[in-house]
Structure 1
Amino acid sequence: MKKELAKKYDPQNVEQDKYQGWVEKGYFTAKITKDNPSFSIVIPPPNVTGKLHLGHAWDTSLQDLIIRYKKLNGYDTLYLPGMDHAGIATQAKVEERLRTTKNQLRHDLGREKFIDQVWEWKEEYAQIIRDQWAKLGLALDYSKEQFTLNDNLSSAVQKVFIDLYEKGLIYQGKRIISWDPKQKTALSNIEVIYQEQVGKMYYFKYFLANSTTEFLTIATTRPETMFADQCVVVNSTDERYQQYWHQQVINPANGELIPVICDDYVEKDFGTGAMKCTPAHDANDFEIGKRHNLAMPICMNLDGTLNEMAGKYQGQDRFTARTNLVNDLTAQDLVVKIEDHVHQVGFSERSGVVVEPYLSKQWFVKMDYFADKILKFQSSKDKINFFPHRFDKTLQTWMENIQDWCISRQLWWGHQIPAWYHRDDESKVFVGTEPPNETDWYQDEDVLDTWFSSALWPFTTLGWNWNEELFNHYFPTNVLVTGYDIIFFWVSRMMFQSLEFTNNKPFNDVLIHGLIRDEKGQKMSKSLGNGIDPMDVISEYGADTLRYFLVTNSAPGQDLRYSEEKIKAAWNFLNKLWNAARFVEMNRPTDFKPFTNYQNEIKPLIEQHQESIIDCWILSELTLTVKAVKANMEKYEFVLVAKDLYDFIWNKFCSWYIELAKVNLGSDNQEVVNGTQQTLFFVLKQIIIMLHPFVPFITEEIYQTLNLKPSIMLEEYPAFAFTYQTNFLNEVVKITGLIRELRTQYQIPKTQALSLIIKTTGEQEQELATALDSINKFIIRLVNSDISNVVTSFGESKEYIAVPLEHYTVYLKAEGVINNELETSKRTEELARLEKEIARSKSILENANFLAKASPEKIKVEQDKYDDYLKQYANLTAEQE
């Protein structure tokens, strides 16, 4: 039975059950074949910590758009799904669940049973993510789904770690890292969120030894670390402090003597020009400590409380100890002053606590070697292409300022480090998948940074070290779609690991997008409460609407501002398509059979009938649109693609061709009717094929009414060329729209015939004059008007209304057409309205209270209004003269 479209576009009904059908029929399943070129995308794995957010929806909609487009163009496509174990984040979630539901800590369960709990969490949230992927319509090959802790990926992670260790590129050492005192683990840089905070700058007296009057003033924002001070540092060129070189001062926190040393790191003009040095609690101090062979004691426990070095403050939380220490030193007259101080403070993304710079023994990757590898590769002809290209420079800058990467985490959930320590001598370390023997050796309890396994994602998921056929066919992947905020943390790491272990790049292209912001331009975040759940948008407007908005409203590299108005505009566009499809459906006879070779079969019908010029026109415009769309799709310029598609679908097909086609469908000439019916069908088919990568559900629904292949996913992308001389119809469209506006503006009845004159350049004159009869045949029928003449010069006269278009000006004689009394009355009313607005706006801009309190943006808005009112007033008064 022939499927018919519902009277109204209802995205919920349209999108229901389609996805499962696609999956069950294997339309997403990659089939390795040598008949077609391969094209692969490996999904950036979402963390199994919760639901997908709008950023995930944007990222994956772009990927799915590309995959569906390539599939329609004959590629053997693979869109591989997967998820990340997200060590810190997932462990934190499960620990929180245990505390709130069972009043248990992970140590109450032990490592093995706790890990079982995390796996249960993973299975629960993995299914939630899959359900959301389905809602979005992602063409994922679930038969190849991966997880970063799968056995095949885990063995690859171990191999990489061991190989890098044996090459001397992984080492264990003590360095300053970002420490989360709540989770008690090292953090990666991306897990530290810096926020501007109003804190305090404390100025303390460091008295010279054996002096009760002479002291150096030292400023710090972290007094609680003073117990581990090793010296005071000044610049060797600072004459103020030359007399104190190599003398000793008294640490006010604990009374210990520490030396004054010189290091050019200190800036003479910053603060007092003298700084305390605490090598175990600050990254810059650590470097100074290495240069001067300073001791590096730690005064803080792993949970952020102070240790025995803090004396009576031992056991106090770092911030409590700070307050108590400052109060005590104030009472001892050892505080010079305390000032408010605005500075950037790092917070743990996972636990929300202030991160502590902390000296810790960790595992590190030597990054100079890899940075050099990336820089050399990006200067070769095989380089990875960034879209936009400027992000290649961003990558280069980061690689030129690289630091070693801390890869160990003090967690239970993750890839346990394949390093073993001798029970009798922990300085003996063995790196391998198994220890020399189980009796004398125990494994390092730490796990690897999640980014370590994520860095292997493009090649381990595609079979490296476990499926040679899969790997050889689909690697390297064709494009990575990701945000600019993780170029350093993820993109660069994938690059160097792939170059090191596969001797190939991980992807050919990197398509960079920005961040999603709210309607005010603020970054969406939990703390601001301004996030948008993509599933809520889908429930109200449909997945197609959300997808279309996401992929067509931001150019590569740019942020995307969420807009309810634009969401509605996307829905309206799809609704317009739906109604156009219904028109085509209702005007197909029950025995309609589409041409099997349209390009050849349509020619006899449309090339011999004058009325069929509209069919020739829409086919020519379709050809131009397909060409433009293909060119911009290859450059990932989806905003430009959307602009071309919108112009063709909304303006040319829906607004104009369908209107013109109504005349042909009522023709007495059956060949004209047949030609237009076939053209309506053919053009609609091409439209939905081009739109399918953007909006898969509605295009599949419309396609099912065409009675062609089982699914639109089995179709081929448009490839044809119609080149008819039909440019004059574009002029018909412009002139018809102009006349309709004039009739509305001047309240001219449709029954009143209008006569027009066109003034243009000499070159344009010949073209328009030649097409004049053809143009008039349409505008007489459409808007009861005709063009009497085309000229190159025309004397300006108030008897005519002049309206400029892109390449010429249209003149309409006003006499007998325009009601001058009515127009004068309307102009008088408008002038009175503008006078009031000008007075109101001027009053606001002269109001000192408004100017003092309003933001610069608001003042500018009001100034722009005022200027616009003045321009409108000047134009209207000029018309009266």
Structure 2
Amino acid sequence: MLDKTYDPKEIEARRYPEWENAGAFRAHPDSPKQPYCIVIPPPNVTGSLHMGHALDNTLQDVLIRWRRMKGDDVLWQPGTDHAGIATQMVVVRNLEQEGIGLAVQGAATNDANKKLLNREEFLAKVWEWKAYSGGTITGQLRRLGASCDWSRERFTMDEGLSKAVLKVFVELYKQGLIYKDLRLVNWDPKMLTAISDLEVESREVKGHLWYFKYPIEGSPDEFIVVATTRPETMLGDTGIAVHPDDPKWKHLIGKHAVLPLVGRRIAIVGDEYSDPEKGSGAVKITPAHDFNDFEVGRRHNLEAINIFDRFARVNGNAPEKYRGLDRFEARKKIVVEMEELGLVEKIEPHTHAVPYGDRGGVPVEPYLTEQWYADAKKLAEAPLAAARDGRVKFVPERGREDFFRWMENIEPWCVSRQLWWGHQIPAWYGPDKKVFVALSEEEAQAEARAHYGKDVALERDPDVLDTWFSSALWPFSTLGWPDQTAELAKYYPTSTLVTGWDILFFWVARMMMMGMHFMKDVPFRTVYLHGLVTDEKGQKMSKSKGNVIDPLELIDKYGADALRFTMTSLAASQAGRLRLSPARVEGARNFATKLWNATRFAEMNGAALPQGFDPVTAKLTVNKWMLGELARANQAIDKALTDFRLNEAATALYEFVWGVVCDWYVELTKPIVQGADGPEKDETRAVTAFVLRETVKLMHPVMPFITEELWDKLGHRAEHGPLIGQPWPAPPTVDAMADAEMGWLVKLISDIRSARAELNVPAGAKLKLLVIGGNATTAARIETHRAAIERLARIEGVEAADSAPKASLQIVVGEATYALPVGDVIDLKAESARLQKEIKKLADEVGKIDAKLANAAFVARAPEEVVEEQRERRAQAEQTGARLSAALERLGV
């Protein structure tokens, strides 16, 4: 017997270990079944579950559980990422609390007694931390219900994956696809490493725009004015760019200016990068400290002078008086000295975007440094071809166009990082800095001996590889490559990749590069891209805004099933913002409770499935209709999952369970199951039990915990085993005649209820129902279902009539008009006036919103979530207006 109260916390804590201990999640590479494989986007080993994880992993688990029920041999490959910079930062912070630092050359320390760790000592501490707390997120994924094959869990720094990383690096180097180059990178002066674009966040900062006057060579009284937000970088200026058509400055093209404070002669060049409408129209060019300037410098052969060290302190390439100053101290000193020289034309307040390192939390410095690069343009050729010919499908299709846009303009990929935690680059340098790239130091020594003709001391490159390098191998390295394993043979290419748009380029594209280069096939057949989970206002969640929603708190309060259902229903926006509010999760918990209570009601009223019950034997119209509705729900859910429209699957479940089973079937059959014994009662109990059994199967991929519990408590587990291992149900037969008859009844009662609600008819008022123009079929149906109509639509008598009385509201269903005399219950004229007033108010609101949305300036300047909110308000107002207009028409006043 089901407990009176649905308790998700107790159920979920009990059910998950049962599944895992029984091996319910395990893949079977030796099985003849068709494979279906998803590799989990590996969460950072430092991480804990956030809403992005909750969405991403829920969608994966829905697909995995569904394909398992469809009969596939399913592998959901789990694992975690070593997260180089994030993990190093966490461990460094922990060590600092113990008074321990890192022996980093050039770093300042104010405590001579502070213990400093070398690289080997620090890495030992990281592995110690990983063993202690590195598995937090995998435990949290279990709470979400993620049915990964945990027996195959991998880690990007485990022995097998490390072997794969070394092999890939060495082979790409020997093929000329990895090389060293001097280029600009995003440099984090706090973390002391190059970082990827994904690790850079743009922040709006209130600063200044300084207008500096640079003297023209040979004309000491003539100046060119440049505007800059970063005065400190002027020490590295090697040119000034003006637009070739700018009447103000074009006469200076080809001449030289003299760089103040430094005295360097710098060229004035014509380049379309300079915008005459911005600042002064002239742009100082510092190729070593600005990405755009770097490109201008290359076009005009300007020297790149690096004036900062890795701590963003002024280095020896600048005049002596600035050396050793922090970049912002240098800024203050430069501005003061330029003012003293009379070379500051003006200073304006200026709000602009400044790139910050998301880990170090300080402004990123574009920095000219030698790094290792992969030839991304060459590696992108095969993925581009696969996307064009359809070997990889993108859902939604727009993802394909975004993929092309980036891949066709791809830049070299900086794969090195100046960290200690990560895969150390397998490169060793000889005495003359010649590099030897090999799988081991022994192999490098052998190559060096052959080159030099003797044994020499080799020094290993201290850098490690970008975390994205190892995760780019994830679809095949996790399956055992470079060994030729049974898993690799069966599950590669994987079936589906589920991920967010934000890593389409950082991860998806790179997996395609590496998979196609080393496996000669795509790493996955379908890329399913989902949007970003935001708060209910459409704002990105952030700690600074205080709008972060913790999924674990929601699970504690409402249950994992409720959160999973909410996440699945939110997936409608595959590209945009998925607005989450705790109220939606509460609504999903209420949905689970509704199913629980309906099942308990059925159980209390004797619903049970007779041995060998065949739904085809059902004779009652209401039961045949219910079986048809079950068939339709089955087909709709299955198709939605096939088409990656997971939100439509959730909607179909909700409408079927709440709208059809609970609101209609249970209510329509109450008089039967609570009435006298007989064949109708027996049949209805059996059909109810059958429908509930099939319903929990349909719901299982989305809400696995409650469905497994209901399956067990209804006795099916004892006979058939756990629900997680059951096949997807075959849809029953649809009876067209029962469908038409019950469809008519449901529409009639629904329309009467809606009309009463819209016209404020008191809930307790019993109205007469007059039928005008009904044919023989309608008359027969009314006779059959009279009791249900009277009970469920609050009607007191149903009669045929020639016409509708004046004071009545009218609805049309099929060929007949139905009139409800309401003159004694409501004031028709007052109600008509109210409706007209509401309709006008809504029309005015639509007009105001249309005016806003037609204003190009508003759409361009307003945050995306504000524009989207206006569109939603308009749609809602229009929908409500149409509904009230229909109600007004029903009045016939």
TM-score (norm 1): 0.89
What is the rounded CA distance, in whole Å, between the counterparts of 1:632 and 1:865 in structure 2?
Answer: 29
Residue of structure 2 equivalent to 1:850: none
Q: Which residue of 1 aligns with 2:587?
A: 569
Letter in 2 for 1:714: G
SS at match of 2:221: coil
**What is the CA-CA distance between 1:507 and the residue it aligns to?**
0.8
CA-based RMSD of the aligned residues comes to 3.4
1:182-236 alpha-carbon deviations (Å, 9 max, x no partner): 1110011111112233322211111123433111112222111111222233344
Could you tell me how far apart the structure 2 residues matched to 1:584 and 1:515 are? 40
Q: Which residue of 1 aligns with 2:284?
A: 276
Q: How does 1:507-586 map to 2 (within 5 A)?
A: 507-555=524-572, 556-586=574-604
Q: 1:718 corresponds to which residue?
A: 729
- How much has 1:502 moved relative to structure 2? 0.4
Contact 1:758–1:787 (CA<8 Å) still a contact in 2?
Answer: no
CA distance, structure 2, for counterparts of residue 682 and residue 859 of structure 1: 45
Q: Does 1:373 align with 2:378?
A: no
User: For structure 1, which segment, 347-356 or 199-208, has the greater mean C-alpha deviation from structure 2 after superposition?
Assistant: 199-208
CA contact (8 A) 2:810 2:890 kept: no
Q: What residue number does 2:824 align with?
A: 819
> Quick check: 1:425 aligned with 2:432?
yes
Alignment check: 8 A CA contact 1:594 1:681 kept:
no
Alpha-carbon contact 1:756-1:787 (below 8 Å) kept:
yes
Q: Give the structure 1 partner of residue 771 of structure 2.
A: 757
Aligned mate of 2:633, from 620, 625, 630: 625
**Which residue matches 2:133?**
125
Q: Quote the residue 1:76 is aligned against.
A: 73
CA distance in 1, matches of 2:344, 2:545: 38
In the TM superposition, what are the counterparts of 1:187-206 in structure 2 within 5 Å? 187-206=195-214
1:280-322 deviations in Å (ceiling 9; x for gaps): 1122222333344333221111001111214212111111211
The aligned residue for residue 329 of structure 1 is 338
Query: Residues 772 and 804 of structure 2 are in contact (CA less than 8 Å); yes or no, is this contact kept in structure 1?
Result: no
**Displacement of 1:269 after TM fit?**
4.7
> What displacement does 1:740 show?
5.1
1:879 deviates by 6.8
* Matching residue of 1:774: 784
Kindly tell me: are residues 799 and 784 of structure 1, through their superposed partners in 2, closer, same or farther at Cα, counting changes over 3 Å?
A: closer
How far apart are 1:105 and its partner, in Å? 3.0
Distance 1:137 1:364, change over 3 A: same
- Is 1:748–1:818's contact at 8 Å kept on the other side of the alignment? no
Alpha-carbon distance change, 232 to 779 in structure 1, aligned in 2, over 3 angstroms: closer
The equivalent position to 1:656 in structure 2, one of 664, 673, 697, is 664
What are the superposed Cα offsets for residues 523-560 of structure 1, whole Å, 9 maximum, x if unpaired? 01223221111111111111111111111123133321
Greater CA drift, 778-787 or 198-207: 778-787
CA contact (8 A) 2:769 2:795 kept: no
Kindly tell me: are residues 106 and 829 of structure 1, through their superposed partners in 2, closer, same or farther at Cα, counting changes over 3 Å? farther
Q: Is the 8 A contact 2:700 2:707 kept in 1?
A: yes
User: How far does residue 804 in structure 1 lie from its aligned partner after superposition?
Assistant: 4.7
Aligned AA for 1:322?
R
Q: Determine the C-alpha separation between the residues in 2 that align with 1:381 and 1:867.
A: 39
Q: Is the 8 A contact 1:834 1:873 kept in 2?
A: no
Change (3 A) 1:141 1:759: farther
- Whether 1:587 and 2:600 are equivalent positions in the alignment is no
Deviations 1:557-586 (A, max 9, x none): 332111122112111110000001111222
Q: Letter of the 1:755 partner, please give it.
A: L
Deviations 1:699-754 (A, max 9, x none): 1111111222331112111103322221211222232344456678544867x673
The farther-off stretch of 549-558 and 795-804 is 795-804
Please tell me whether the aligned partners of residues 512 and 557 of structure 1 are also in contact (alpha carbons under 8 angstroms): yes
The equivalent residue for 1:20 is: 17
Indicate if the aligned counterparts of 1:743 and 1:749 stay in contact, CA closer than 8 A: no
Q: Could you report, residue by residue, the CA deviation over 1:227-271 in whole angstroms, capped at 9, with x for unpaired residues?
A: 122223334455654553443321113122223344454445544
- How far has the Cα of 1:471 moved from its partner? 0.4
Instruction: Tell me how many residue pairs correspond in the alignment.
Output: 842
- Counterpart mapping for 1:69-108 below 5 A: 69-105=66-102, 107=104, 108=116
Q: CA deviation at 1:643?
A: 1.8
User: Structure 1 residues 561-570 or 261-270, which shifts more?
Assistant: 261-270
Contact 1:416 1:446 in 2 (8 A): yes
Q: Which amino acid aligns with 1:811?
A: Y
- CA positional deviation for 1:378: 1.4
* Structure 1 letter corresponding to 2:769: S
Residues of 2 paired with 1:714 and 1:812: CA distance? 53
> Which of 149, 159, 183 is matched with 2:157 structurally?
149
Compared with structure 1, are the counterparts of its residues 432 and 399 closer, same or farther at alpha carbon in structure 2 (3 Å cutoff)? same
- Give the whole-Å Cα distance in 2 for the aligned partners of 1:236 and 1:826: 72
Corresponding residue for residue 315 of structure 1? 324
Question: Is it true that 1:733 corresponds to 2:743 in the alignment?
Answer: no
Provide, for residues 104-161 of structure 1, a one-character-per-residue CA deviation record: whole Å limited to 9, x for no partner: 3354111111011111222333321122011101101111000000111111111111
The equivalences for 1:257-296 within 5 A come to: 257-296=265-304
Q: Matches of 1:623 and 1:863 in 2, distance apart?
A: 32
Note the 1:36-185 alignment, pairs <5 A. Answer: 36-105=33-102, 107=104, 108-185=116-193
Deviation, 1:31, is: 1.6
Does residue 217 of structure 1 match 2:225? Answer: yes
Q: Does the 8 A contact of 1:177 with 1:357 survive in 2?
A: yes
Per the alignment, in what secondary structure is the counterpart of residue 258 of structure 1?
strand
C-alpha distance in 1, partners of 2:269/2:828? 87
CA distance, structure 1, for counterparts of residue 820 and residue 368 of structure 2: 86
Using the alignment, how far apart are the partners of 1:493 and 1:828 within structure 2?
Answer: 63
Q: 221-230 vs 355-364, which deviates more?
A: 221-230
Deviates more, 1:540-549 or 1:645-654: 645-654
Gaps of 5+ in 2: 105-115, 447-454, 850-861
Describe the shift of the 1:393–1:767 C-alpha distance in structure 2 as closer, same or farther (beyond 3 A): farther
Counterpart-to-counterpart distance in 2, 1:12 and 1:574: 13
Q: 2:824 is matched by which residue type in structure 1?
A: N
Change (3 A) 1:205 1:796: same
Say whether the 8 Å CA contact 1:688–1:699 is kept in structure 2. yes
The question of whether the paired residues in 2 share the 8 Å contact of 1:39 and 1:477 is answered with yes
Kindly indicate whether the alpha-carbon contact (under 8 Å) linking 1:199 and 1:340 is maintained by their aligned counterparts in 2: yes
2:366 maps to which residue?
A: 357
For 2:469, what is the secondary structure of its paired residue?
Answer: helix
Which of residues 712, 715, 721 is equivalent to 1:704? Answer: 712
CA shift in 2, pair 1:287/1:427, >3 Å: farther
SS in 2 for 1:288: helix
Can you give the 5+ residue segments of structure 1 that lack an aligned partner in the other structure?
Answer: 846-854
